[in-house]
Structures are given as structure tokens and as C-alpha cells.
Structure 1
Amino acid sequence: MYVTLFNEFAPATIVSVPSRQQNGAAGSPSRKSQGAGAHLFREGDAAASIYEIVSGVFRLTRVLGNGRRQVIAFGFPGDTIGFPKGACHHTDCEAITAAEVIVHRRNALDTVDGDHETHQRLLNAALREISAMQDHFMMLARKSAKEKMASFLVTLAERNGTPIGGYTSCSLPMSRADIADFLGLTVETVSRTLTRLRKENMIALENPQTVLIRDMRALISASQVSE
């Protein structure tokens, strides 16, 4: 998940593996369960597989040259993760909740044979990732703390929000430190900005892991770059 919505290409969709493929026959996708806190892959690992998320949330990170961590993205159901840089993964990928993925072996995708629908879905996922990453870089460079946080919450609502009357309830499975490292802010600024949005009556904080969006229109407006 990035902080801008995926509008350019086909939207992410949750997929399933037919029962005849779940035994992991050669060349066919298989399912893999992942416990919270476990790494699906690490930076530098050989990228033998690509993963479609069925359930749970993943955090993709890199450690910068100065030792600081950068959260690159959060993976939600319907997202595809594990696109490599050459032959290796270029990020760490850790489950932050219990999760399940569909595993696609890269060597089975490198030929023109196989499931055309799967090839097209993964191609669309790669195009979404490139487009969203470009938007994310622009956000880091141009948006204020309030604009960044509002953008993050709007996108979170799009991905995992639950309508409650005229409001939208969103789970925050990631920590405040995760959000800070994703948005290029400090933990203190994240907490201060959430408090500001709450005082402006755009959101309510039901608990540390749940935010209630009370005024989506105002939140979308707050997410736009001020001229």
C-alpha cells in the first residue's frame, strides 16, 4: 500500500488458488501461511517467487546507508509483493499480522505457457507498483505532515475501511513507528498530527489500532498539496 490510490491500472483483487493446485504441483501456485513477526523474505535473498496476499498485512522495509529504516510499503489482501531487483529481493518483507499468500514460482512465469489470466494480473500489479512508488516519492518530497497523514488515512480507508453509518472505521495494524518510517516523519509528529486531525473533527481515535474517519470529504481535502 502506498499513500495514493491505484487509479491508472486494474485495481488489486483478492485471488484464490483452485483446489487442484493447492498441493503445490510443479509449476503451479501454492498457498503459504505466515505468522505475525515472521519474514517472508529478506533483502538480498534470491527472488525465486512472487506472492499475492490473500489475508493479513505485510511491511516492506529497507535499511538506509545511515542505519535508518525506511518503510517502503504495506501489503494488504489483493496486493502482490516480491517483485525482484534482478535476481534478488531488494527489501525485507515481514508479516505484521498472521497472513496467507499465494506463491508463484518465477520460473513458471518466465514462459509464455501457463495461465494467461495470472500473467496479466501480475503484470497489472507490477505496473501499479511502479506508478504508486513514483507517487510515493513525490509525496515524501512535497507534502506537509498533515497532508501526508491525511493521504495515508484516505488510502487506508479505501483498502480496509468498514462503513459504520456515515463514518468509516479503519484498522491500524502497523505501529506509529511504522507509519513514521513510511511517511518520512518522526513518531512524535505522527502522534501530533493524528491529534490535530482529531481536534479538527475529521477523525476519532477509538484505540491505538483503530481510527474512525468522521469527515471523509474534509480528510480528502486535507490530503491535497497546499499551493
Structure 2
Amino acid sequence: MKLLTFGPSGGVVAAPTTSLPEVPGGEDNWDYRFCWVRDSAFTARAFYGLGYEQEAESFVSWLLRWVVGGSAGTLVLTGLLAGSQRLRLTRMNLPFLLGTMVTADRDRAKLYGLGLHLLNGLVVSGVYLAAFAAWGRAGWWLGGLLGVLHAGLVLLVVLPAMPTLHPRMAAESQGPTEVKPLEPPGFLGLHYGTWTPLTVLVSHVAFGMLLGGLYPP
């Protein structure tokens, strides 16, 4: 079991098998070199039962840091963006944009969007923690640097793709319509306000700094 354990997180891979063909000569391969939360939870329970508490707590504590850190970081990011809206620095509301992708009802969109935003924050925070583990180091400054890259991805890739991906967002070449009433973000999200790039940068840097500070050295 020790050989199947990833030291930085304590996660245990499902099995050391890789590239086993589903059928002889088939293209699909079975690859179990992943840490599934369910399987790792069973393994941690077995460790506890056998008295190997340190091995069990290593994974459980990493999982708690991921959930707590990711949730806290996402709430801080969302709070900073909401504060920027109240200060009239930007009109961009990421949870609302996410929510309107699944419903046209504005009230439901706010609720659904917040849930999707928190879930997305957990997924992204997992990427941050994976980067820290791969580098073998972490810290608020390294998390902040990842936050800069994260903000750049949002501003240069995600927002420009929104008119194509969002079923209720107008195209850049056309104005809002009855079917697509949402205004597109424009270059760097500038349609939502000239301070939008800065608010996105600050909020994502804060997100990264929080995760970097919570990750153990």
C-alpha cells in the first residue's frame, strides 16, 4: 500500500495497472493509476482500522484542505467581485453568467450560478494543489503567481469564448436580442467596465494566495 501512496497528498491510487486492453487487440485501455475519492476513503478507513493512523490522516487532512481551502478561496473571489460591482468598478457577475447558462429565470440563475461557481472553484483549487504537489513547494507568493495565470486564462480565453458557449449571450458582432439578451464581455471583459480586468486579476490573485498559504510547506 505504501508504494501506491502519493506522498504529498497521501492519496492512494486504485491500482498500479495501466494499458490493459479491454479486449485483445482493442483500442480501449483500462488505466487505474488514479486516486478515486471513494476508493481512497475506503482505504483510509482500512488504515484506521489497522492502526495506521498517520497514513490515513495524511489523505484525510489533504482532502479537508482541498475542500475548505477551495471553498474559502472561491467565496473570497466571489466576494471581491461582488464588492467591485457595488463600487461600480465592473458589471461582471460570474455566478450569474454561469447560472444563466442553465436557466433563463434570473432568480434561479443566481442560485444555480453560485452552486456552479463553488463547484468550479473546488475543481480549479484541485489544479492549484496538484501544481503545488508537483513543484514540491507552495506559499502565498507562488499561489499569487498561479492566480495571475488563472486571471489571464479567464480574460484571454474563457470570456472571449462565452458568446459561443453561452446559449443566452449575444455575439460580438450583434447586439442583445430577445433570445440572447446578455451582453458579451468584449476584449478583456471591457464591455462590463474599464476596471473589469483589474478586478478579475485582484480576485484571482487573492484566490491563489489563500490556497498557497493554506497548503503545507
Give the TM-score of the pair, scaled to structure 1.
0.27
More strand by share: 1
Higher radius of gyration, 1 or 2: 2
Give the TM-score of the pair, scaled to structure 2.
0.28
More helix by share: 2
